[in-house]
Amino acid sequence: MPEAGDSVSNALVQSFGIGVRQLREAQRWSQERLAENSNLNRSYIGEIERGSVVASLVTIEKLASALQLTPSALVTRGEAISQMNLVRGIKLMAIAC
Amino acid sequence: MPEAGDSVSNALVQSFGIGVRQLREAQRWSQERLAENSNLNRSYIGEIERGSVVASLVTIEKLASALQLTPSALVTRGEAISQMNLVRGIKLMAIAC
Q: Is residue B2 part of a domain?
A: no
- In chain B, the percentage of residues whose pLDDT exceeds 90 is 75
B33-73 pLDDT per residue, tens: 999 999 999 999 999 999 999 999 999 999 999 999 999 99
Q: Is residue B15 part of a domain?
A: yes
Range of the domain at B21: 7-96
**What ipTM does this complex have?**
0.86
The CB-side HSE value for A2 (13 A sphere, CA atoms) comes to 2
Any idea what the Cα angle at residue A50 is, between residues A46 and B53, rounded to 5°?
A: 80
Q: How many CB pairs under 8 A join A and B?
A: 82
Q: What is the torsional sign of CA B52, B58, B62, B63?
A: positive
pTM over 0.90: no
A82 neighbors A11 (Cβ within 8 angstroms) = yes
CATH number reported for the structural domain that contains residue A39 in this entry: 1.10.260.40
Buried/exposed B27-53: b ≥16 CB within 10 Å, e otherwise: eebebeebbebbebeeebbebbbebeb
Domain count, chain A: 1
Residues of chain B in contact with residue A7, where contact means CB-CB under 8 angstroms, are 58
A8-50 pLDDT per residue, tens: 469 999 999 999 999 999 999 999 999 999 999 999 999 999 9
- The answer to whether A83 contacts chain B (CB < 8 Å) is no
Q: Is residue B20 part of a domain?
A: yes
